[in-house]
Amino acid sequence: MAIRRIVILGGGVAGWMSALALGRALAGCAIAIDLVETEGPDHSIGPFGPGESTLPAFHKFLGDEGVDEDALLRASRGTFALGAAFSGWADRQSAWFLPFGDIGVGMGTVAFSPLVARLRAAGHPVRPTDFSLAAVAAAAGRFARPSLDRRSVLSSYGYGLHLDKAGFAGMCRTQASGVTHHAAPFARAIRVANGHVSALELVGGEQVPGDLFLDCSGPAALLCEAHGFESWSAWLACDRVVERATQQEGIPPPYTHAAAHPAGWLRSVPLAGGPSEAMVFASAHHSDTAAIEIHQGRRTRAWHGNVIAIGAAAALVEPLYGHNLHLVHSAIQRLVTLFPTRADGPEAAEYNRITAEEADRVRDFVIAHYKTNARTGEPFWDAARAMSVPDTLQYKLDLYASRGRMPMYDEELFDRAEWIAMLDGQGLHPRRYDALADTIPEPAIIQHVTRLREMIVDAAKAMPNHGATLAQIGAGA
Amino acid sequence: MLVKRVLVVGGGTAGWMTAAALSNKFRGSPLEIRLIESAEIGTVGVGEATVPHIRHYNATLGFDEAEFLAATKGTFKLGIEFRNWGRLGDSYIHPFGAFGQDFAGVPFHQHWLRMRGKPGVAAFEDFSLPVQAARRGRFHHPSADPASLLNTFNYAYQFDAGLYAKFLRAYAEARGVVRQEGKVVHVSQHGETGFVEAVTLDSGERIEADLFVDCSGFRGLLIEQTLGAGYEEWTHWLPCDRAIALPCPNDGPPPPLTRSTAQKSGWVWKIPLQHRCGNGHVYSSNFISDDGALETLLGAIAAPPLADPNKLRFVTGKRKRQWVGNVVAIGLSSGFLEPLESTSIHLIQLAIGRLLDFFPTGEWDPLDAEEFNRVMVLEYERVRDFLILHYNATERDDSEFWNYCRTMDLPDSLRYKMELFRERGVVVNYRDGMFLEPSWLAVYLGQNVLPNAHDPLSERLSDDDLMAAMADLRARYAAAAEAMPAHLDALAAAA
- Is A182 exposed, middle or buried, given 0-12, 13-18 or 19+ CB atoms closer than 10 A? middle
- The residue ranges of every structural domain in chain A are 5-472
Q: Looking at the partner chain, which of A25, A337, A439 has a beta carbon nearest the beta carbon of B26?
A: A439
* SS3 state of residue A129: helix
pLDDT greater than 70 at residue B46: no
Nearest to B431 among A340, A410, A432 (CB): A410
Question: Options 3.40.50.970, 3.30.70.2860, 3.50.50.60, 3.30.910.20; which CATH number does A5-472 get?
Answer: 3.50.50.60
Q: How many domains does chain B have?
A: 1
Which residue out of B4, B364, B460 would a mutagenesis test of the A interface target, given it has the greatest number of A Cβ atoms within 10 Å?
Answer: B460
Strand partners, B95: B79
Q: For A39-84, give the DSSP string.
A: SSS--TT-SS-SEEE--TTHHHHHHHTT--HHHHHHHTT-EEESEE
Contacts of A63 in chain B (CB under 8 A): none
pLDDT at B147 over 70: yes
**Is B39 in CB contact (< 8 Å) with chain A?**
no
| B419/chain A closest Cα distance in angstroms | 8
A339, A350, A432: residue with CB nearest B363: A432
Pairwise CA distance, residues A394 & A81, whole Å:
30
Q: What is the pLDDT of residue A1?
A: 58
Residues lower than pLDDT 70 in chain A: 1, 343, 477
- Cβ burial, residue B379 (10 Å; 0-12/13-18/19+): buried
For chain B, percent of residues with pLDDT exceeding 70: 99
Q: Could you say which residues from 1 to 30 on chain B have a Cβ atom under 8 Å away from some Cβ of chain A?
A: 1-3, 25-29
Residues of A in contact with B426 (CB under 8 A): 337-338, 347, 350
φ/ψ of residue B85, rounded to 5: -85, -60
How close B423 gets to chain A, by Cα (Å)? 7
Q: Please give the pLDDT value at position B456.
A: 82
Query: Taking 90 as the threshold, does the pLDDT of residue B424 lie above it?
Result: no
Q: If you ran DSSP here, which 8-state letter would residue A157 be given?
A: B
Residue B143 domain flag: no
For residue B334, the distance in angstroms to the closest alpha carbon of chain A comes to: 21
Question: Chain A residues with CB-CB distance to B under 8 A?
Answer: 2-3, 25-31, 64, 109, 336-341, 345-347, 349-350, 398-399, 402-403, 405, 407-412, 431-436, 438-441
Task: Report the distance separating Cα A362 and Cα A331, nearest Å.
Answer: 14
Closest CA to A146 of A135, A158, A136: A158
Q: Which residues pair with A256 in a beta bridge?
A: A84
Chain A residues whose CB is inside 8 A of the B26 CB are 435-436, 439
Q: At what angle do helices B366-392 and B344-357 cross, to 10 degrees?
A: 160
Give the mean pLDDT of chain B.
95
Is B360 within 8 Å of A336 when comparing Cβ atoms?
A: no
Residues 55-94 of B with CB under 8 A from A: 60
Contact A403 B1 (CB under 8 A): no
> Among A28, A338, A405, whose Cβ lies nearest the Cβ of B426?
A338
Asked whether A303 and A351 are in contact (CB, 8 A), the reply is: yes
* C-beta atoms of A432 and B356 within 8 A: no
Contact B420, B428 (CB under 8 A): yes
The residue among A332, A394, A403, A415 with the most chain B CBs within 10 A of its CB, best to mutate, is: A403
Chain B residue with CA closest to A433: the answer is B361
Give the model confidence (pLDDT) of B195-213 as tens digits. 999 999 999 999 999 999 9
Q: What is the mean pLDDT of chain A?
A: 95
Please report, rounded to a whole number, the percentage of residues in chain B having pLDDT higher than 90. 90
Predicted confidence (pLDDT) at residue B47 exceeds the cutoff of 90 = no
Give tens-digit pLDDT for A269-306: 999 999 999 999 999 999 999 999 999 999 999 999 99
B118 is catalytic: no
The stretch B359-373 carries a mean pLDDT of 96
Of all residues in chain A, the percent with pLDDT exceeding 90 is: 92
According to the model, what pLDDT value does residue B43 have? 62
pLDDT single digits (tens) A128-175: 999 999 999 999 999 999 999 989 999 999 999 999 999 999 999 999
Structure confidence at residue A246 (pLDDT) = 86
Tens of pLDDT, residue by residue over B3-41, are 999 999 999 999 999 999 999 999 989 999 999 998 876
For chain B, what is the HEC assignment? CCCCEEEEECCHHHHHHHHHHHHHHCCCCCCEEEEEECCCCCCCCCCCECCCHHHHHHHHHCCCHHHHHHHHCCEEECEEEEECCCCCCCEEEEECECCCCCECCECHHHHHHHHCCCCCCCCHHHHCHHHHHHHCCECCCCCCCCCCHHHCECCEEECCHHHHHHHHHHHHHHCCCEEEECCEEEEEECCCCCCEEEEEECCCCEEECCEEEECCCCCCCCCCCCCCCCEEECCCCCCCCEEEECCECCCCCCCCCEEEEECCCEEEEEEECCCCEEEEEEECCCCCCHHHHHHHHHHHCCCCCCCCCEEEECCCEEECCCEECCEEECHHHHEECCHHHCCHHHHHHHHHHHHHHCCCECECCHHHHHHHHHHHHHHHHHHHHHHHHHHHCCCCCCCHHHHHHHHCCCCHHHHHHHHHHHHHCCCCCCCCCCCCHHHHHHHHHHCCCCCCCCCHHHHHCCHHHHHHHHHHHHHHHHHHHHCCCEHHHHHHHHC
pLDDT of residue B462: 92
ipTM: 0.92
Which residues in chain A are closer than 8 Å to B464, comparing Cβ atoms? none
pLDDT at B432 over 70: yes
Per-residue pLDDT tens digits for B79-121: 999 999 999 999 999 999 999 999 988 999 999 999 998 999 9
Q: Specify the CATH number for the domain of residue B320.
A: 3.50.50.60
B366 touches chain A (CB under 8 A): no
CA-CA distance, A275 to A247, in Å (whole number)? Answer: 7
Q: Does B372 touch chain A (CB under 8 A)?
A: no
Of B25, B73, B77, B320, the catalytic one is: B77
The answer on pLDDT for B71 being more than 80 is: yes
- CB distance A29–B460 less than 8 Å? yes
Q: Which residue of B has its CA nearest to A438?
A: B29
pLDDT at position A477 is 65
Summarised one tens digit per residue, pLDDT across range A312-357 is 999 999 999 999 999 999 999 999 999 887 767 788 999 999 999 9
The answer for residues whose C-beta is within 8 angstroms of residue A129's C-beta and 6 or more apart is A96, A97, A99, A103, A135, A136, A421, A425
Which of these, B77, B97, B76, lies nearest to B153 by C-alpha position? B97
The pLDDT value given to residue B44: 58
Range of the domain at B227: 5-44+160-233+315-380
What pLDDT is recorded for position B224? 97
* Interchain proximity B365–A435, CB inside 8 Å: no
Please count the residue pairs, one from chain A and one from chain B, whose beta carbons lie less than 8 angstroms apart.
Answer: 103
Q: B28: which chain A residues are within 8 Å (Cβ-Cβ)?
A: 439-441
With the C-alpha atoms ordered A88, A90, A92, A98, is the resulting torsion angle positive or negative?
Answer: negative
